[in-house]
Structure 1
Amino acid sequence: MIELKQLTKQYGKPGRLTTALSGLDLSIQKGEIFGVIGHSGAGKSTLIRCMNLLERPTSGEVWVNGINLTALGKKQLQNERRKIGMIFQHFNLLSSATVFDNIAFPLRLCNTPKSKVEQKVGELLALVGLEEHRHKYPAQLSGGQKQRVGIARALASDPEVLLCDEATSALDPQTTDSILKLLLDINRRFNLTIVLITHEMHVIQSICDRVAVIHQGGIVEEGPVTEVFLKPRHEVTRDFIRNDQLSDGDPFTTLSGQPNERTVKITFLGAKTYESTLSDVVRETGVTFAILQGTISKIKETPYGQLIVRFEGSPESVNQTVVQLQKQGLDVEVSS
């Protein structure tokens, strides 16, 4: 659906160039919610603006639905951009226009008949839950309501792709969750490809299918959210996860055991999260255990759990316990 090939973006003049993106490759499939996470200055906003050529890349290609946008002329590019909706961190609404007129704006730009504008805007107001606010102005709305207007406006031209540039970072946590649920509903209802730029791991974990981690203008890690979140390879990814979990200390790395003790981190995914696998195995092997830390949560709709456990027993029985847990399909990491 979206293919970025050796994408490079530089700013400035020769001799004083700043590189925002450097030879970046990325592939996003039709109908998925794809997240891009990175710290401030990593290049994520430049990346999403290059996807619809609001920023023209210095080099490389941007392909959307089989069309190379970087090879198009101005008029052709305008036509293709109508298939790409975009919502922004600070809403970018017309302050002197009503909610209705803000949503109708892209339709009127392409001379849509008045009756069709009325019908389409009415449908979108119902979709985002703002029917009662159609005659209000942006200044009369909350932040969440403004973003709902932005989403409705982005959907007005029936796009195939929706780009979200830090769409929830200006919102409180409760409002953020409601906007994320709305985006998930839109994705499922219309099979709309959504690309979501953020610096919040919670956003990625809530609704994304796959994620790419961007750092210093390049992708340092990419894959299904469950894989990247539970088995991060890059230090930047691990940093995001640590900050999201807000842990005051990880017993897995901060405690040292006695010779007959072993600290392990056990990860449960899917239905196994709620099964009694651990108690069944230790009953069989005869080791005792203490739970030092535990969490149960969800990645999108997939439940997962993590336990940090201290096993006590003979080295042989502890090793057998680890092997048996792994045979049951659990990921078990043994502290060094």
Structure 2
Amino acid sequence: MIQLKEITKIYGKKNKTTTALSKLSLDVKKGEIYGVIGHSGAGKSTLIRCINLLERPTEGEVWVGGVELTRLGKKELQQQRGKIGMIFQHFNLLSSSTVYDNIAFPLMLRGASRAESKQKVDELLSLVGLEAHRSKYPAQLSGGQKQRVGIARALASDPDVLLCDEATSALDPQTTDSILSLLLDINRRFNLTIMLITHEMHVIQTICDRVAVIHEGGIVEEGPVSEVFLKPKHFVTKEFINRNSIGSEGVKLAEALSGQAWNRLIKITYLGAKTYESALSQVVKETNVNFAILQGEISTIKDVPYGKLTVSLEGSDDAVQRTIEMLKQRELDVEVID
């Protein structure tokens, strides 16, 4: 649905230039929620604004729905932009217009009749849960309500793609979760392709199918969220995960264990239904190895449960090694960490 091919974006002229994106490529499939995460200044906002050509790439191709946008004339580009909705970090609402009129604005621009606009806006107000706020102005709304107006407005033109530019970073955690739940519902209900950028791993973990990690204008790691989250390779990815989860306690654990004599320390990662199985206890009964759980976590990646355990194993070398091999045979990821 979205393809970026060798995108480069350079700001400035002659000797005073800044390269925001460099030969960046990615492919977003129809109907998926695709996340891009990175630190401030990594190129996230430039990337998402290149998709609807709010920022025109210096080099490269932008394909949306099978159409290469950089080759289009002004009128054709405007038509294609109607298929791309966008919501913003700071809402970008018309302060002098009501909730109803903000949502109706895209319909007015395309010349929809009053009856058509009313039917569409009423449907969208119901979808985002703002029926009782239709006559209010943005200043009378909470941050979460403003973002719901922004989402409804972005959906007014029945887009094929929804772009989210840090859509939850100005919201508190509880409101963030409600907005993420709404986006997930919209994705499933309409099979709408959603691409979002964020600096919050929690956002990626909660609703995304795949994720790309952007650093210094390029993609340094990409794949299914479960794979990237549980087996990060790049140091930037590890930073985000450690800051977001129990992994940040790893340093404290290492300090606490420093100097202690453990037979073997391992980290076991569970995914899916295996998260709730008693694999470890079953295996150690068979190998006659004792164990102690030093650290543990159970959570979800989108709808998929996962678990992480840091465990000390006590027993003969052969028995401990057999325990590790048997855990691996049960398709668990086992990492020796001492």
Please report the TM-score for the alignment, with normalisation by the length of structure 1. Answer: 0.98
After superposition, give the CA deviation of every residue in 1:113-139 in whole Å (9 maximum; x if it has no partner).
110000000000000000000000000
SS in 1 for 2:9: strand
Q: 1:248 offset after TM fit, Å? A: 3.5
Q: Which runs of 5+ in 2 are unaligned?
A: none
Distance, in Å, in 1 between the alignment partners of 2:259 and 2:158 is 59
Deviation at 1:253, TM superposition (A): 4.6
The 3-state SS of whatever aligns with 2:212 is strand
Does the 8 Å CA contact 1:94/1:102 hold for their aligned counterparts?
yes
Tell me which residue corresponds to 1:162: 162
CA distance in 2, matches of 1:24, 1:169: 24
SS at structure 2 position matched to 1:227: helix
Contact 1:257 1:263 in 2 (8 A): no
Matched, 1:185 2:176: no
Quick one: distance in 1 between partners of 2:63 and 2:324? 47
Amino acid aligned to 1:326: K
State whether residues 251 and 292 of structure 1, in contact with CA within 8 Å, keep that contact through their aligned partners in structure 2: no
* Deviation of 1:252 (Å): 6.6
Distance 2:190 2:253 in 1: 44
Aligned position for 1:274:
276
Listed one character per residue, the Cα deviations across residues 45-99 of structure 1 (whole Å, up to 9, x for unaligned) are 0000000000000000000111000110000000000000000000000000000
Matched, 1:16 2:16: yes
What is the CA–CA distance in structure 2 between the aligned matches of 1:268 and 1:53, rounded to whole Å?
42
Q: Secondary structure at the match of 1:292?
A: strand
Shift of 1:335: 1.1
Corresponding residue of 1:105: 105
1:288 and 2:295 are equivalent in the alignment: no
When residues 249 and 213 of structure 1 are mapped into structure 2, their CA distance, relative to the original with a 3 A threshold, is same
Q: 2: CA distance between counterparts of 1:256 and 1:55? A: 51
Q: How does 1:1-336 map to 2 (within 5 A)?
A: 1-245=1-245, 247-250=248-251, 253-254=254-255, 255=257, 261-336=263-338
Output the CA distance in 2 between the equivalents of 1:292 and 1:129: 44
Deviations 1:93-116 (A, max 9, x none): 000000000000000001101100
Q: 1:136 to 1:260 in 2, by over 3 A?
A: closer
* CA distance in structure 1 between the partners assigned to 2:254 and 2:228 by the alignment: 20
Structure 2 length-normalised TM: 0.97
Cα drift, residue 16 of structure 1 = 1.1
Task: Using the aligned pairs only, state the percent identity.
Answer: 72
Is the CA contact 2:31–2:191 (under 8 Å) kept in the aligned structure 1? yes
Residue 249 of structure 1: CA displacement?
3.5
SS at match of 1:26: strand
2:308 match: secondary structure? strand
Conserved? CA contact 1:61–1:70, under 8 Å: yes
* Residues 133 and 308 (structure 1), Cα distance of their counterparts in 2 relative to 1, 3 Å cut: same
Q: Distance in 2 between matches of 1:198 and 1:111?
A: 34
Contact between 1:35 and 1:208, CA under 8 Å: does it hold in 2? yes
Provide the secondary structure at the position in 1 that maps to 2:177. Answer: helix
Judge conservation of contact 2:262–2:312 (CA < 8 Å) in 1: no
Report deviation, 1:155.
Answer: 0.1
CA RMSD between the two structures: 1.2
Indicate conservation of the 8 Å contact 2:9/2:58, yes or no. yes
- Structure 1: state its 5+ residue gaps: none
CA distance in 2, matches of 1:259, 1:293: 17
- CA drift of 1:251 comes to 6.5
Q: Work out whether residues 211 and 224 of structure 1, in 8 Å CA contact, stay in contact via their aligned partners in 2.
A: yes
| Aligned counterparts of 1:330 and 1:49: Cα–Cα separation in 2 | 40
CA contact (8 A) 1:260 1:313 kept: no
Secondary structure of the residue that 1:237 maps to in structure 2? helix
Number of residue pairs aligned between Structure 1 and Structure 2:
336
Deviations 1:138-191 (A, max 9, x none): 000000000000000000000000000000000000000000000000000000
C-alpha distance in structure 1 between counterparts of 2:77 and 2:329, whole Å: 54
Q: Secondary structure at the match of 2:285?
A: helix
Question: Which secondary structure state, in structure 1, belongs to the residue aligned with residue 136 of structure 2?
Answer: coil
